[in-house]
Structure 1
């Protein structure tokens, strides 16, 4: 394994271990950011299922967004995943940023999810 991927994997495990310790049974809002798109899903680790998900790849979002790789797309995805989670009855989550810094698109998605009704 290359050194960069090893460092990234360690960071992901470190963040996730701290989240699971602090979760107290709450589902986690996991975020993945690629060069072209952004993805978010609410995962129940106790049962091992994804409760809801949203991404900038969805057909209705692609029609309205200029690109999936900017802050506007992250805000839209954050609001959408929050709406879907609240519809499923999930209000409180823990935020899992993975290996990404809480900055830019990841921060915009988190703030939009908070505005959409999720608490973390």
Structure 2
């Protein structure tokens, strides 16, 4: 039986998340989601089950609604690093989900690292 693209994506996402969870216990998770039109990032504390900080191109402050390119991803990465610092988080582990670490996803990670978040 052939799997759909969505099912394969979900399997890949859970495989990545479970491997990272074993290695990086105790640190918050920087989770990234991208669609064709937007990109969003959350800093999640899995132990307490809460979101510590979030940033998205859907926020009107950025002026990036409907944009999902490398430039927008870079600005979101910088914003999440600043918000993480305000929340008292200095290091996290990067959860790329089912997406390849390439292009926009890589731009988010690099921008967060450059802004001082230890990933």
Shorter-chain TM-score range: over 0.9
Q: Which residue of 2 aligns with 1:69?
A: 68
- Listed one character per residue, the Cα deviations across residues 46-88 of structure 1 (whole Å, up to 9, x for unaligned) are 00000000001111112xx485211110000000000000111
Q: Are 2:44 and 2:52, in contact at CA under 8 Å, matched by a contact in 1?
A: yes
Compute the RMSD of aligned alpha carbons: 1.5
Per the TM alignment, residue 24 of structure 1 is displaced from its structure 2 partner at its CA by 2.3
Which structure has the highest helix share of the two? 1
In structure 2, the residue matched to 1:105 is 104
Structure 2 residue aligned with 1:94: 93
Aligned counterparts of 1:66 and 1:15: Cα–Cα separation in 2: 28
User: Which residue is 2:58 aligned to?
Assistant: 57
Contact 1:68–1:74 (Cα < 8 Å) also in 2: no
Residues 81 and 117 of structure 2 are in contact (CA less than 8 Å); yes or no, is this contact kept in structure 1? Answer: yes
Given the superposition, is the C-alpha separation of residues 66 and 33 from structure 1 closer, same or farther in structure 2, using an over 3 Å criterion?
Answer: closer
1:3, distance to aligned residue in structure 2 (A): 2.1
- Post-superposition offset of 1:9: 1.1
- Structure 1, unmatched stretches of 5+, are none
Matched, 1:40 2:44: no
Residue 103 of structure 1 aligns to a residue whose secondary structure is coil
What secondary structure does 1:32 align onto?
strand
Task: Give the aligned partner of residue 85 of structure 1.
Answer: 84
- TM-score normalised according to structure 2 size: 0.94
Report how many residues are paired: 118
Please list every run of 5 or more consecutive structure 2 residues that lacks an aligned counterpart in the other structure: none
